[in-house]
Amino acid sequence: MDIKIYVKRLQELGIETITGVPDSTLQVFCNYIGNEGEGAFPYHITAANEGAAIGIAIGEYLATGKPACVYMQNSGLGNTVNPLTSLAHTDVYGIPMLLMVGWRGEPGMKDEPQHKYMGEITPALLEVLDIRYSVITKDTAEEELVQALRRAKEDFSKNRQYALIIKKGAFRETDTALYKNDCTLGREEAISMIAGWLEERDLVVSTTGKISREMYEQSDQKIGNHRQTFLTVGGMGHANMIACQLAKRLPERRIICLDGDGALLMHLGNAAVIGEQQPENLVHICLNNRAHESVGGMPTGAPELRLSEITGQMGYHRAVCVHGREELQDSLLAIRRERKLTFLEIAVSLGAREDLGRPKETAEENKNNFMNTVMSC
């Protein structure tokens, strides 16, 4: 389907506000509304997480009486369940909105293991949430889209939500949007330095997306294996809490969390909890490229935020931001010398190798290897 036709039909539905979290399945849509089609909707807000996007949609309806469009990967449906059921449902306030859900892990389609189960249950989950839906594919004709949006409008009139499940490849590819920042240090280069800095007893928890993929490869090159690293392949935004509890329960080990700025923003309150818990053996590293790069490179909802300044007010004893190899090397040496709760923000450029690999072990094997490493030292 042509993305311009799709956007035009959403406009005809009376939608003026779009909000959500970028997704690779929706990359054509996200690129269009952020570049060539910027201004197609008067208000576009990249939310910190999908539940927050539901909140924005509720605010839009209360202010204008008009439904908003909330876009997300289907994994993000998990973050929406609470506000959809406890606020937006007709049993409560009855807030109409259009959900635009990218379908990762679609049955019969090859995908990563973290998407498999959610892919299987996506239609059923919407049914449990009492939300009618239509599936949009590359073969969906414009008239079929019109009919789907007509059903959506009917549900809006009843103060209900409606969903469009978007299959991979549903939108015709357009010119690729180029995203960049002014940082010179590459993310994988920084991860390579961190991998080379690790000691045998250190443990690593890496966040979703390309950070885990790059850590996996760099561990092989620098260490010869990746048994020290737990790859948080799903559950975006939760790696830091996994690392926090590891640090609390394994006080004799140094725990390193490799986080991303988009992941940290998704559940920023976690940093306050970490600051309160004070695990002095935790090194919380945020690789900040100001973007959701793993799903296309679109900017986060707060790309100019200095995360180290915020965490410094949340109880981290050391909170610094570094630019370039020399500053990173100096900071790693300082961390090694003094044991205290640390937040290290590393400003990194956008971009990844085209031949970047994926983990060869299953998630179960990664878990078992990591736990064996915990027990063996």
6-51 confidence digits (pLDDT tens)? 999 999 999 999 999 999 999 999 999 988 888 999 999 999 999 9
Reference 332, options 195, 185, 148; nearest CA is 195
Q: Taking a C-beta distance cutoff of 8 angstroms, is the pair 344, 286 a contact?
A: yes
Q: What are the extents of the domains in the chain?
A: 3-166, 187-376
Amino acid present at 101: V
Which letter, b or e, does each residue of 27-49 get, where b requires 16 or more Cβ atoms within 10 Å of its Cβ? bbbbbbbbeebeebbeebbbbbb
Given its phi and psi angles, is residue 66 left (phi above 0), alpha (psi -120 to 50 degrees) or beta?
beta
Fold of the domain built from segment(s) 3-166: Rossmann fold (3.40.50)
**Averaging pLDDT over each range in 68-77, 106-115, 299-308, which range is the top one?**
68-77
Average pLDDT over residues 195-206: 96
d(CA 332, CA 357): 26
3-166 and 187-376: same fold?
A: yes
% of residues, the chain, pLDDT over 70: 99
CATH number assigned to the domain with residue range 187-376, chosen from the 4 options 3.40.50.970, 3.60.10.10, 3.40.50.300, 3.90.1150.10 = 3.40.50.970
Is residue 224 very low, low, confident or very high in pLDDT (cuts 50, 70, 90)? confident
pLDDT digits (tens, 9 = 90+) for 244-256: 999 999 999 999 9
d(CA 328, CA 195): 13
Q: Taking a C-beta distance cutoff of 8 angstroms, is the pair 363, 114 a contact?
A: yes
pLDDT digits (tens, 9 = 90+) for 307-351: 999 999 999 999 999 999 999 999 999 999 999 999 999 999 998
Length of the chain measured in residues: 377
| Phi, psi dihedrals of residue 154, rounded to the nearest 5° | -60, -45
Query: From residue 15, how far is each of 113, 165, 312 by CA, in Å?
Result: 35, 18, 40
Given its phi and psi angles, is residue 352 left (phi above 0), alpha (psi -120 to 50 degrees) or beta?
beta
The helix (H) or strand (E) run that includes residue 72 is strand 69-73
What's the pLDDT score for residue 377? Answer: 67
What's the pLDDT score for residue 293? Answer: 86
| Phi, psi dihedrals of residue 13, rounded to the nearest 5° | -75, -5
Average pLDDT over residues 122-127: 97
What's the pLDDT score for residue 281? Answer: 98
Is residue 376 very low, low, confident or very high in pLDDT (cuts 50, 70, 90)? confident
Mean pLDDT score of the chain, rounded to an integer? 94
What's the pLDDT score for residue 354? Answer: 87
Average pLDDT over residues 47-60: 97
What's the pLDDT score for residue 284? Answer: 98
What's the pLDDT score for residue 36? Answer: 85
Is residue 242 very low, low, confident or very high in pLDDT (cuts 50, 70, 90)? very high
Name the percent of the chain in helix, strand, coil, to the closest 5: 45, 20, 40
pLDDT digits (tens, 9 = 90+) for 141-198: 999 999 999 999 999 999 999 999 999 999 998 766 778 888 999 999 999 999 999 9
